[in-house]
């Protein structure tokens, strides 16, 4: 996702990048996407507004089934040439002779930040049996889950006395 900034006049510029899943699938699990980019250029400052829409294929953290998660995120990224006296960590530096900005890392970061910490196929997902590993959403198992962690046995004895 390269944007050529050489000889680009000040003002607003629009770009669209469509469905290149091979570039991102290994990195993010993305199965398809569209990225709309609005570039606001003022002198030598480049403000990119990224709108990423697509879906990510992940595994449920409880039952390990495949989950398709919709991604609809917007983020902004500022690029400014090196040497500008800014200590702002949100501004990405550009070399003075750089003519092309690669937005791929910014899109990947946007997708990663859109993925929740815990991915579940549904809020009612029962997960896997800790004893036999069967998917409890599909079948019930006869395992007894009454086993007590040996570290807590003495507390249970105190409670029962």
Q: Are residues 28 and 105 in the same domain?
A: yes
Nearest-10 crossing angle of helices 21-28, 104-114: 50
Average pLDDT of span 133-146: 85
Domain enclosing residue 66, as ranges? 2-125
User: Is 159 found in the same domain as 82?
Assistant: no
Average pLDDT over residues 71-91: 81
**pLDDT digits 0-9 by tens, 99-127:** 999 988 898 888 888 889 999 999 999 99
Same domain assignment for residues 110 and 139: no
132 and 68 both lie in a single domain: no
Predicted pLDDT at 77: 93
Count: domains in the chain: 2
Q: 108 and 154, same structural domain?
A: no
Give the pLDDT confidence score for residue 51 in this predicted structure: 94
Give per-residue pLDDT as tens, 12-53. Answer: 999 998 766 565 666 666 777 788 999 999 988 999 999 999
Residues 138, 96, single domain; the answer is: no
pLDDT of 161 strictly over 90: no
Identify the pLDDT of residue 24: 61
Half-sphere exposure of 9 (CA within 13 A, CB side): 2
Instruction: Indicate the average pLDDT of the chain.
Output: 85
Pairing type for strands 91-94 and 100-102 reads unpaired
d(CA 102, CA 123): 38
Please report the pLDDT score of residue 60 as a whole number. Answer: 95
Rounded distance between C-alpha atoms, residue 7 and residue 34, angstroms: 26
Higher pLDDT, 27 or 57: 57
Nearest to 14 by CA among 35, 48, 40, 37: 37
- Residue 83 pLDDT class (50, 70, 90 cuts): low
Residues 6 and 60 occupy one common structural domain = yes
């Amino acid at each position: 996702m390269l944007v050529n900034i050489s000889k680009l006049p000040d003002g607003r510029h629009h770009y669209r990048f469509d469905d290149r899943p091979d570039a991102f699938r290994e990195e993010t699990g993305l199965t398809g996407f569209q990225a709309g980019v609005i570039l606001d250029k003022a002198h030598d400052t480049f403000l990119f507004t990224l709108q990423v829409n697509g879906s990510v294929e992940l595994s449920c953290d409880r039952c390990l089934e495949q989950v398709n998660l919709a991604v609809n995120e917007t983020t902004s990224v500022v690029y400014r040439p090196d040497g500008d006296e800014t200590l702002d960590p949100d501004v990405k530096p550009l070399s003075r002779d750089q003519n092309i900005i690669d937005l791929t890392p910014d899109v990947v970061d946007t997708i990663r930040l859109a993925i929740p910490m815990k991915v579940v196929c549904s809020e009612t997902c029962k997960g896997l049996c800790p004893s036999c590993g069967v998917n409890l959403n599909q079948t019930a198992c006869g395992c007894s889950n009454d086993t007590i962690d040996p570290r807590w046995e003495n507390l249970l004895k105190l409670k029962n006395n």
